[in-house]
Amino acid sequence: MTSAASTELEALALARLGKGDIPGAVNAYKRLTRVKPENPCAWYQLGKLQVEIGLVEQGLDSICQSLKLDDQCPAVWFSRATMEQALGKSKSAIRSGLKVLAIEPDTVEAWMLLGALAEQLKHYEEQENCSWHALRLEPDNQEALVSYAHALYQQGRLAEAEDACREAIDGQASNASALACMAMTLIARSRVDDANEYLDLLLRKYPGYAQHLNAMGQECLSKNDAHAAIGLFASLIKLNEQIEWAYTGLSQAYLMAGRKIDAEENLERALQLFPDLPGAKSLMQKIKLALNFKLTIQS
């Protein structure tokens, strides 16, 4: 087919996009890649649009085809990295992100992506490094500042984490992630009353963020950090007695800390409020066994 035909297909794809017809644009770009398979831009545009309609794996295949034809475009490598991240291919996503930086070292988005991947892999020193580079390039980047604060918190550098959180909150008081990170940092510093102020603000502004707090509490339990888990779950119950999962989390944390009677009393209270609380009965059996074992040893 002629060059005129490929130009016509490009115009058709753009027209479909202009009308919001992404599937139509995808079909036009598919036809274009058959007409001019050596066109890396066509493969790139096809891949991005395939992702928009949920065809992530097909989109990644198209992006890879684009890179076979031209491997020096940082935007294409970044698209590949985000798609690999979405598919759970963290190590491949890291390699692709590093390719972006090899071509264009000052790509803030790439540093942010690598920081997020490092956090997923619990490589907190690397998360700190990536976030620092993003802040070096964009000092007012709130997302990078919160990521930096979280990396410091996870490494136990609590005073530095508090300073970074405070800076993020001062810059954007409604930043949910900054408020949550500040609360966890203050809990770790045994300043529970101060933490409650941030948790209260967080839950009032973002009621749906409670489930993220649950995940943070469960992460504390998985790390055997009973102190942080107790502080978080107890604070949540104090702020809102209707957060039912906080009771099981608190009793699990009490049990981890060896506070078996506290675990039992807290769960008994929970069952009075929520008789059908998921997981409560099996947890109560576990607590009773621990209490009976202690009594047997003492006798």
Q: What is the CATH number of the domain that holds 223?
A: 1.25.40.10
pLDDT at residue 126, rounded to an integer: 98
Residue 298 placed within a domain: yes
Residue 199 placed within a domain: no
Question: What is the chain's length?
Answer: 299
Residue among 163, 234, 227 at smallest CA distance from 193: 234
Cα separation, 225 vs 219, in Å, equals 9
pLDDT at residue 1, rounded to an integer: 47
pLDDT at residue 221, rounded to an integer: 94
Residue 219 placed within a domain: yes
Cβ atoms of 172 and 165 closer than 8 Å: no
Cβ atoms of 201 and 169 closer than 8 Å: no
pLDDT at residue 297, rounded to an integer: 47
Residue 281 belongs to domain spanning: 207-299
Number of domains in the chain: 1
Residue 252 placed within a domain: yes
pLDDT along the chain (299 residues), means of 10: 69 80 89 90 94 95 97 97 96 98 97 97 97 96 96 97 94 82 95 94 90 92 94 93 94 95 95 93 92 60
Residue 211 placed within a domain: yes
**CA distances (Å), origin 90, targets 80, 117, 228:** 12, 6, 28
Cα separation, 90 vs 94, in Å, equals 6
- Can you spell out the DSSP letters for 230-245? HHHHHHHHHH-TT-TH
Cα separation, 226 vs 163, in Å, equals 24
pLDDT at residue 124, rounded to an integer: 97
Residue 267 placed within a domain: yes
Residue 218 placed within a domain: yes
Tokens for 41?
């831009």
- Cα R_g (the chain), whole angstroms: 25
pLDDT at residue 299, rounded to an integer: 45
pLDDT at residue 14, rounded to an integer: 79
Could you count the other beta carbons within 10 Å of the beta carbon of residue 217? 25
- What's the predicted TM-score (pTM) here? 0.85
pLDDT at residue 11, rounded to an integer: 80
Residue 297 placed within a domain: yes
